[in-house]
């Protein structure tokens, strides 16, 4: 078998040039999954037969000198809340196992297929996306490829781990309170939470409709940009998709930070991080020439409001199943679903009213700043089963605290590129940095990320098994 570059963008170029076939890329990906996933546990479904058909179709197009998509032949996988035609959409649960198989692909899966990417399977996650660790009791914990005793993050843990393990170069995940950014940070890969409403959510299992985002993770910034551009597109059948046109970022990479006003979030975002997270923020800031400290408004209140909205909508969505088969739910989250279903409606309404005022305050920051920096997680990946974390001298519950730094940002709907950095004192484990821009300005976050990538400060480090 050929030695094949792991970088998504390099794969696409190699297929386009004829250096390697899509079938060869697929065979290498499937072999890597077969040899590593018994230890990582990233995959819950494998779609080999479909993948071979898609790969062969790419090779046939190239043989016929027909145009190829920007991701032609690149293998990818999706969090198992995305509909895959012919596969039951598990959403991390056993409650869903008896559901009919999906009749069609999710909108974003169709976008990836149109770009020529090859789907190899569905990925492990926290049940119904309610968690930050992917310690899934039903399907087993997803393990961090950099240290198999540690979590991969969540709820898109399989999406982060599959990229970090070199199984596929691109995955799709969802992010409500941090579920792309947390695994990207802990697994050391690139991740994007786009602007709320940027990408269609049609054909995915919901968690919190008023906060859910979808986006890609990748093994390079160029691959992340290619995936994001492929995923974009208006969807008249998804009323939550507010993007009326595609705004590509690939042509903008490499423009540098000239003219960009970059600040570093202080206060709450410095008070709730351990030394490793503080180190990566300082390194990113130094590389980007960012020195001014910026105060993000009402971060703690926004996190509390996000918890209320999450619990209320999540509990309401699953109310019937909570009444009839609560024992089948994930033990780590069932109590939170029940508590959310019992919350007073006044709490939910007050949280949503606060959100409207809060977003105005956050958006006002971007009159003076283009990109704001903050750590993506307060710590590097904890050991599986960890209950408590020491964060800046305080003991905090592990599972909810992994979203300390991400929840306030997604509650405002801002786009974020998470860049993988590698601090000292973590035993080789990564911690990510959030590059936060104003709504609909993903391009600015990508431009800042490109500087970190070009400098070698932010990078994906291959894992040897």
Q: Quote the CA–CA distance of 88 and 94 in Å, as a whole number.
A: 11
> Which pair of structure tokens corresponds to residue 158?
């399989």
Contact yes or no for 375/285 (Cβ under 8 A): no
Phi, psi of 216 (to 5 degrees): -100, 160
Q: Cβ contacts of residue 78 below 8 Å, gap of 6+?
A: 84, 106, 108, 109, 119, 121, 122, 123, 159, 171, 172, 173
Classify strands 394-397 and 213-218 as parallel, antiparallel or unpaired: unpaired
Contact yes or no for 81/89 (Cβ under 8 A): yes
CA-nearest of 184, 175, 97 to 460 is 184
Contact yes or no for 186/153 (Cβ under 8 A): yes
Contact yes or no for 424/279 (Cβ under 8 A): yes
Q: Quote the CA–CA distance of 310 and 448 in Å, as a whole number.
A: 31
User: DSSP character for 127?
Assistant: G
* Active-site amino acid positions: 79, 155, 179
Helix axes 334-341, 299-317, angle to 10 degrees: 90
- Helices of type H across 41-156: 48-63, 107-114
Q: For residue 191, what are the CA distances in angstroms to 217, 220, 329, 445?
A: 4, 9, 29, 11
Classify strands 75-79 and 170-175 as parallel, antiparallel or unpaired: parallel
> Which pair of structure tokens corresponds to residue 39?
């230890």
Contact yes or no for 106/61 (Cβ under 8 A): no
Q: Quote the CA–CA distance of 330 and 338 in Å, as a whole number.
A: 12
CA-nearest of 460, 414, 402 to 155 is 402
Q: Cβ contacts of residue 24 below 8 Å, gap of 6+?
A: 1, 2, 4
């Amino acid at each position: 078998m050929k030695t094949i570059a792991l970088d998504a963008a390099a794969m696409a170029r190699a297929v386009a040039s004829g250096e390697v076939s899509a079938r060869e890329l697929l065979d290498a990906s499937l072999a890597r999954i077969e040899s590593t996933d018994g230890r990582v546990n990233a995959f819950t479904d494998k779609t080999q037969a479909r993948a071979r058909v898609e790969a062969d179709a790419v090779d046939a197009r190239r043989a016929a000198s027909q145009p190829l998509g920007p991701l032609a032949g690149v293998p990818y996988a999706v969090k198992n809340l995305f509909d895959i035609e012919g596969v039951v959409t598990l959403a991390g649960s056993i409650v869903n196992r008896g559901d009919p198989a999906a009749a069609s692909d999710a909108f974003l899966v169709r976008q990836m297929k149109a770009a020529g990417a090859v789907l190899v399977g569905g990925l492990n996650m926290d049940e119904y996306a309610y968690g930050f660790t992917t310690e899934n009791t039903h399907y087993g914990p997803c393990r961090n490829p950099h240290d198999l005793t540690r979590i991969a993050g969540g709820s898109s843990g399989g999406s982060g781990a599959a990229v970090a393990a070199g199984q596929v170069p691109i995955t799709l995940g969802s992010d409500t309170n941090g579920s792309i950014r947390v695994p990207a940070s802990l697994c050391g890969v690139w991740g994007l939470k786009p602007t709320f409403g940027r990408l269609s959510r049609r054909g995915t299992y919901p968690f919190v409709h008023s906060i859910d985002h979808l986006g890609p993770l990748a093994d390079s910034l160029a691959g992340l940009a290619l995936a994001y551009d492929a995923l974009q597109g208006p969807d008249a059948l998804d009323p939550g998709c507010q993007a009326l046109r595609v705004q590509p970022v690939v042509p903008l990479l490499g423009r540098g930070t000239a003219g960009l006003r970059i600040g570093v979030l202080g206060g709450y975002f410095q008070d709730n991080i351990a030394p490793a997270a503080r180190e990566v923020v300082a390194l990113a800031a130094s590389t980007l020439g960012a020195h001014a400290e910026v105060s993000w408004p009402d971060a703690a209140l926004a996190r509390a409001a996000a918890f209320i909205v999450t619990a209320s909508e999540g509990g309401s969505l699953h109310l019937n199943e909570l009444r009839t088969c609560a024992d089948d739910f994930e033990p780590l989250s069932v109590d939170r679903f029940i508590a959310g279903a019992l919350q007073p409606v006044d709490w939910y309404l007050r949280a949503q009213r606060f959100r409207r005022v809060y977003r105005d305050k956050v958006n006002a920051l971007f009159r003076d700043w283009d990109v704001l920096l903050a750590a993506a997680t307060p710590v590097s990946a904890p050991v599986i089963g960890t209950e408590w974390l020491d964060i800046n001298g305080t003991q905090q519950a592990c599972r909810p605290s992994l979203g300390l730094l991400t929840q306030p940002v997604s509650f405002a709907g801002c786009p974020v590129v998470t860049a993988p950095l590698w601090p000292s004192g973590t035993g080789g484990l990564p911690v990510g940095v959030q590059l936060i821009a104003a709504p609909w300005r993903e391009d600015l976050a990508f431009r800042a990320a490109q500087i970190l990538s070009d400098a070698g400060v932010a990078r994906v480090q291959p894992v040897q098994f």
